[in-house]
A and B are shown apart, each in its own frame.
Chain A
Amino acid sequence: MLRRFRLEEPESVKEACELLARHGESARIYAGGTELLLAMKEGLIQYERLINVKKITGLDQVKLENGTIRIGALTPHRKLENDPVLKQKLPAFVRMEHHVANVRVREVGTLGGNLCFAEPHADPGTLLMVLGAKLVAERASSRREIPAERFFVDAYETCLEADELLTDIHVPALPERAGAAYLKFGYLERPSVGVGLFIAWDQDAAIAEARIAVGCAGPKPKRVEEAEGLLKGKSARDAASALAQAGEIAGRAADAIGDLHGSAEYKEHIVGVLLKRAFQQISEQRSSKSSR
């Protein structure tokens, strides 16, 4: 049951940031509410006022500009999973969105809301990290871009300042010879482990760049650069053994927590399994693309 609160409905980013600055911790941004309202109903958190930013126009669009896909923070998951630009340019992102929670959550929940709530079991952050996404945060008079891997500070905690609003997510379109995947695994309602992988190949079909991120297992999603280095320069054939080692490193780096979703040891193991399968998925897509 929700306790009473007051509602503010700013019509501009500036107005929203001013409201945040004025009300401090007694107020919180409302951008869909799929996580926030659950916690408020449960009585875990309370706010005197919610600031509904969904009246601000232009923050729920997906646009391709100069090779960068700009996703408005208030775009609902359902719109993202069906977006034609994303389907063409970032199919891995569309697949991830297609499997966020359930259809009702995807209908109402927004990408920005999901990122800002920083629920440890959320999917998008992990994939955005390997896609090289930047998160645009605005204040009344300033604006900054935050690399996705620096956005999450802890469970339910981001690097946003009290008066900052996440407005856009910028994702570079996938380069020519590259692929990405996000795989998750679990047996409760929310995933136990999520793994994001980005692979770019050079002209000789060796791995030019690899990016690995792990989510859900620990308090926040993480890039695992140490594991990425192992894959670099490897041919498809050599990748297998490097992957196993990368999986172990990524597993250890995940800060996996033993809880209802599995022991830390199991989650670490699953990181390796998902990493291997993500690589298979990307490789298969690549070969099916090249055979076309």
Chain B
Amino acid sequence: MAEGRLKAEDRQFIPITFTLNGRAQEIQVEPHELLIDVIRNRFGFTGTKRSCDVQVCGACTVLVDGQPVSSCTYLAFEALGHDVLTIEGLAKNGKLHPLQEAFIEHGGLQCGFCTPGMILAAKSLLEQNANPTREEIIHFMEGNICRCTGYKKILESIQAAAKTLRQQSSGV
């Protein structure tokens, strides 16, 4: 296997510009590099977690242009021209996002390993559907696994945050 590895002179570097947590970035990546490794190792945003590595668990979820993707299976060069949000970019000016508040308030987290991906997926859901039903939440979130909570308190956290966000947007 190792004999077949790419020779040093054949290595390819692709310049990409993209936005990461609201800041413009310009880097070079190799084709095989995964977004999760670039985010964690080059930018130090270690809130994005690697777990199952097969797109089942959702721990590595980041938002690309507002949509959830598995950064463990997303080639970094694909970020070109896109807006990438990790958990570190969610709180604004030190103020937690209503989802972050709700997860703390309603016990939506325990060990915390699934939490960044869980919150980002929920953010994407609530941006597309401000008032989701229980079934709609379950359908959207079923690809994010939590092994600690039993999901009930996560569901309640998302429902509570949805309510807060609706109140905020209606100016109540």
Contacts and interface: CB of A to CB of B under 8 A. Distances in A.
Interface stretch (B29-37, B92-100, B146-154, B162-170): B29-37
Interface in A15-70: 30, 33-34, 37-38, 41, 43, 46, 48, 50
B51 to A, nearest CB: 13
Contacts of A4: 5-6, 11, 30-32
Interface string B100-128: 00000000000000000000010010000
Contact of B5 (A3, A50, A98, A103): A3
A287 interface: no
B1 interface: yes
A108 interface: yes
B73 interface: yes
Nearest to B64: A107
Contacts of A176: none
A107 B143 contact: no
A292 interface: no
Q: How large is the interface on B (under 10, 10 to 19, 20 to 34, 35 or more residues)?
A: 20 to 34
Interface string A84-109: 00000000000000100111110110
Given A6-B6, A6-B10, A103-B140, A50 B54 contact: no
B74 interface: yes
B58 A46 contact: no
Size category of the A interface is: 20 to 34
B69 interface: yes
A223 B143 CA distance: 30
B12 A7 contact: yes
Contacts of B27: none
A144 B12 CA distance: 35
B74 A5 contact: no
Interface in B54-91: 54-56, 58, 61, 64, 67-70, 73-75, 77
Nearest to A41: B53
A104 B12 contact: no
A98 B56 CA distance: 16
Contacts of A46: 1, 4
A101 B6 contact: no
Contacts of A189: 56
Nearest to A82: B128
27 contacts: A2-B32, A2-B34, A3-B5, A3-B32, A4-B11, A4-B30, A5-B31, A6-B10, A7-B31, A7-B77, A34-B55, A34-B73, A37-B75, A43-B1, A46-B1, A50-B31, A103-B124, A103-B143, A104-B58, A104-B68, A104-B70, A105-B55, A105-B143, A107-B64, A108-B69, A108-B73, A189-B56
Given A4-B30, A6-B10, A104-B61, 5 more contacts: A33-B73, A34-B55, A48-B4, A103-B143, A104-B58
Interface of B: 1, 4-6, 10-12, 14, 30-34, 53-56, 58, 61, 64, 67-70, 73-75, 77, 121, 124, 139-140, 142-143
Interface of A: 2-7, 30, 33-34, 37-38, 41, 43, 46, 48, 50, 78, 98, 101-105, 107-108, 189
